[in-house]
Amino acid sequence: MGYNRENFRRIREAYAVKYQAARERADRRLEEVWASVPGVREIDIELSRVGLEIMKAITAGGENITAMIAEVRKKNEKLQAKRGELLRAAGYPADYTDVKYECPACGDSGYVNGVMCECMRRELILAACESSGISELLREQNFDNFTLDYYSDNIKNYEIMENVLTKAYQFANGFSEAGSGNLLFMGGTGLGKTHLSSAVAKRVIERGFDVVYVSAQRLISDFERGRFGNSSNDGIRQVERYSECDLLIVDDLGAEVTNQFTVSCLYNVINTRLNLRKSMIISTNLNKKELESRYTERITSRIFGEFILLVFAGTDVRMQKLRQKYGK
């Protein structure tokens, strides 16, 4: 899976710390108990002896191994029960010395039988959302609250947008490392391009991929920061992510200042990702002609050759919503 390496490393480290801390806390409780309830310590020594017996029985094999193990296990249970009683009598809960993990399912290891635990997956998704560049506001825009109702004043537009939604939905739900192609969202302001980009981003993140969402303006300014290499490496680091992530979403192409430098940055990003067969979504308010006059043939031929063009139709949804809110 394409989990962001940096997030993955950081979260695994946090799990190791969490795991260790839970064990140390349990150790301290055990020491406390041993000091105040001597009977428990004796039982614990006995219990570890019993544990050894089980191990020996298993390694030795033999005919009546099952019977032996059953017998040892019974001994173990009896000792455990007695231990619990001693603890309770001393005013402790019976499980006082047990290790208390944050997640009982995986014992804070992040894995259950070699499969990533739900708790770790959630952490990764959260971190991925954070590092994807999708703002809080955008996070609220998803497939569930994208409705075709806003395009229903015109049957043609409705059908167009139904197709757009279907294509975006399929792209998101079928996203794979094997290469999922590229989408070009084209159309006027307020037709849902950013909303749908964000919906796709979230779904692809949920499926475990590393997604970066960035406005064209921001993309360019990160390249500039990298170029004019100030003290921080942020610009360069970020630029690396633009070629490394599984899905790059460039929003609002055409809103940035265009000059030779910005055009060559764009070309580099698009070209690199196409060569690596890594997916992109680009959205723009510009039409084909405008794109062609603004960017070089090098760029537009690649975009129109390698991206599935989805032209949005309808009337500004933002305005529709405002009208609904304030009445006509």
Ligand X SMILES: Nc1ncnc2c1ncn2[C@@H]1O[C@H](COP(=O)(O)OP(=O)(O)O)[C@@H](O)[C@H]1O
Residues engaged in binding ligand X (CB under 6 A) = 141, 145-147, 150, 189-195, 317-318, 321
Q: What tokens were used for 274?
A: 């196409």
Q: Is 107 left (phi over 0), alpha (psi -120 to 50) or beta?
A: left
What minimum distance in Å lies between the beta carbon of 316 and ligand X? 8
Pairing mode of beta strands 307-311, 115-116? unpaired
Q: Which stretch binds Mg ion (CB under 5 A): 92-100, 180-188, 193-201, 218-226?
A: 193-201
Say whether 28 sits in a helix, a strand or coil.
helix
**How many residues lie near Zn ion (CB under 5 A)?**
5
**Residue 127 to residue 35: CA distance in whole angstroms:** 43
Member of 97, 157, 180, 194 binding Mg ion (CB under 5 A): 194
**Residue 80 to residue 84: CA distance in whole angstroms:** 6
What minimum distance in Å lies between the beta carbon of 243 and ligand X? 24
Kindly tell me which of 122 and 321 has the beta carbon lying closer to ligand X.
321
**Residue 194 to residue 203: CA distance in whole angstroms:** 14
Q: Which stretch binds Zn ion (CB under 5 A): 8-16, 33-41, 118-126, 281-289?
A: 118-126
Give me the 92-111 binding string for Zn ion, x by CB under 5 A, dash otherwise.
-----------x-xx-----
Which of the listed partners (Zn ion, ligand X, Mg ion, none) does 195 bind, with a CB threshold of 5 to 8 Å by partner kind? ligand X
Q: What tokens were used for 283?
A: 């959205």
**Residue 110 to residue 123: CA distance in whole angstroms:** 10
What minimum distance in Å lies between the beta carbon of 200 and Mg ion? 13
Give me the 60-99 binding string for Zn ion, x by CB under 5 A, dash otherwise.
----------------------------------------
**Residue 64 to residue 58: CA distance in whole angstroms:** 11
Kindly tell me which of 17 and 90 has the beta carbon lying closer to Zn ion.
17
Kindly tell me which of 142 and 243 has the beta carbon lying closer to ligand X.
142
For residue 128, count other CB atoms closer than 10 A to its CB.
Answer: 26
**How many residues lie near Mg ion (CB under 5 A)?**
2
**Residue 49 to residue 244: CA distance in whole angstroms:** 53
